[in-house]
Amino acid sequence: MMREMYGLKVVEKTDEAKDAVTLVFDVSDKSLEGRFNFKAGQFIGITHNIKSEVVHRSYSISSDPNTSDRLAVSIKKVHEGRMSTFLVDQVNIGDELMVTPPAGNFYKEPESKRHHVMFAAGSGVTPMMSIIHHLSLKKPEDSITLFYWNQTFESSMFIKELKELSQTKKNFNLFLAFTKENLEVDEESNIFSLERVNDENLKTCYYNWSTTIDMPLFYLCGPEAYMNSVESFLSRRGFDEVQIRKESFLIGVKPTKSENTTTVSGEDELLVGDTENANTSRGGTCIATFDDETVEVVAKNDETVLEALLSAGESPPYSCMEGTCMACQCKVVEGVAEMPTESFLSDEEINERNVLSCQAYVRSNILKVDFDEF
C-alpha cells in the first residue's frame, strides 16, 4: 500500500535556534488541490532515503494555518538522529522532499470563549506556534498562556518571535523556564523558573493562569516524562482529562508490551473490543466513521484496517503507517480488532478500546470503528 506523498520544494530555510531550523515549503501549486491546507496543531510526514534506508518522520507545522501558499516545519536535531540531522544539516533551498499531507487533531476549535494554557518543552513548542498564530487571528477574545521550558536561551526555538508576540498581543502571556542558564528569575524577561518541571514551578504556573475565569484548555507537548508531570499536577488540581490535550513526539521512546495480551494457539495476542466474540483468523467487514461519514469495506486477512480503507479508495486520517504518529487512531465501537502486543498506545488507551488502524486487523465478522473522536 503506497502512502499518499507529494514532492514539495523548500523555498526558505532559517536558523531557529542552536541545531534547529525552519523549512518552508511552497504549497501554492494548483495540482496539489488544497491537500496541504492544514489546521492548527497538525503535522506532516517527511520521507527520505538516508544511507540506503527509507526513513519516515512526522513534523508539526509551525506556520499560520490561515496562509494557504506556504507551510513551515521546524526541526531540532536530536543526537545521532537520522532524519533530523539530514533536515537541519543537508537540506537546502530548492531541494524537493517527499511529504505526506497534514494529519492530526491536537487542536480542536472550541465552541465558546476559552483560556488556552500551553505547556511546551524544547521542540514541543512547534505545534503551539501554529495554534498561537491561529488563535491570535481567529479568536482575539480568547486568552493564551504559554509556559515554555528549555535548557538555554541559545537552544530555545522561536524565542524572539514569542517575546514580540507577548509584547504586541494583549491576550498572549509568555513564561519561560531554563534549566541550564545562569540567570535570575525575572518578570521583565518573562523568566519564571530555573528548574526542570516540578510541583513548585507548576504551582507558580497555576497562580499565573488561574486568575482568568474562562474554563482553561490545556495543551502539552514535550518529552513523555515532562508531559506526565504536568498532567499529574493538573489532575491533582481537579482538572478533567477532557480539558487536557497531549501531542507526543515519541523521541527515544520504545513501544511497550501491553498487559492485556491473551495467549491463543501458543502465541501472545492483543484483542481489543468484544473479545469473547473474536474469530480465530483475521479478515471481515469493517464499518468505519470518519469526517462524519460512515463507509463499509471488506478487509482481507492480510490487510490492516487502514490498508482496507485505502484500498477501497477511502481517505481516513493517517500519516506514518508505522504505528508512531498516532494520526490513524480510532475507537472500536463494535466487534474485535487485533493489535500488535507492543505498541505506543498505553494500557489505559487500549482499555478504552482505542487502536491504531495502521496496525489493527479485523478479528470479527463485523468491526465498527470511529475515527472522529480523536
Phi-psi region of 19 (alpha: psi -120 to 50; beta: other; left: phi over 0): left
Does the protein bind ligand FES through residue 356 (CB under 6 A)? yes
Q: Which among ligand FAD, ligand FES, none contacts residue 76 (Cβ within 5 to 8 A by kind)?
A: ligand FAD
Q: Which among ligand FAD, ligand FES, none contacts residue 328 (Cβ within 5 to 8 A by kind)?
A: ligand FES
Q: How many CA atoms does the CB half-sphere of 88 hold within 13 Å?
A: 20
The least CB distance from residue 74 to ligand FAD, in Å, is 6
Q: Which of these segments, 82-90, 193-201, 274-282, 285-293, binds ligand FAD (CB under 6 A)?
A: 82-90
Residues numbered 308 to 367 that lie near ligand FAD (CB under 6 A) are 324-325
Does the protein bind ligand FES through residue 100 (CB under 6 A)? no
The least CB distance from residue 321 to ligand FES, in Å, is 5
Does the protein bind ligand FES through residue 309 (CB under 6 A)? no
Does the protein bind ligand FAD through residue 75 (CB under 6 A)? yes
8 A C-beta contact, residue 128 and residue 149: no
Instruction: Give the dihedral sign, CA 8/13/16/21.
Output: positive
Residues numbered 110 to 129 that lie near ligand FAD (CB under 6 A) are 123, 126
Q: Which of these segments, 20-28, 178-186, 279-287, 315-323, binds ligand FES (CB under 6 A)?
A: 315-323
Residues numbered 187 to 226 that lie near ligand FAD (CB under 6 A) are none
Measure the CA–CA gap between 331 and 348, rounded to whole angstroms: 13
- Return the C-alpha cell found at 121: 518543552
In the complex with ligand FES, the residue whose CB is nearer, 117 or 356, is 356
The least CB distance from residue 312 to ligand FES, in Å, is 17
Does the protein bind ligand FAD through residue 13 (CB under 6 A)? no
Measure the CA–CA gap between 124 and 134, rounded to whole angstroms: 17
Residues numbered 28 to 57 that lie near ligand FAD (CB under 6 A) are 43, 55, 57
For residue 4, the surrounding DSSP H or E stretch is: none
- Return the C-alpha cell found at 112: 465558546
8 A C-beta contact, residue 72 and residue 23: yes
Does the protein bind ligand FES through residue 304 (CB under 6 A)? no
**Residue choice 102, 104, 284, 323 for contact with ligand FES (CB under 6 A):** 323
Q: How many CA atoms does the CB half-sphere of 102 hold within 13 Å?
A: 27
Contacts of 157 by beta carbon, 8 Å cutoff, 6+ apart = 16, 17, 20, 74, 76, 122, 123, 125, 126
Q: How far is CA 206 from CA 135, 148, 177, 209, in A?
A: 21, 14, 14, 5
Q: Which residue is nearest to ligand FAD (CB)?
A: 81
- Residues near ligand FAD (CB under 6 A) are 43, 55, 57-60, 74-76, 78-85, 123, 126, 249-252, 254, 324-325
- Residues near ligand FES (CB under 6 A) are 318-321, 323-328, 356, 358
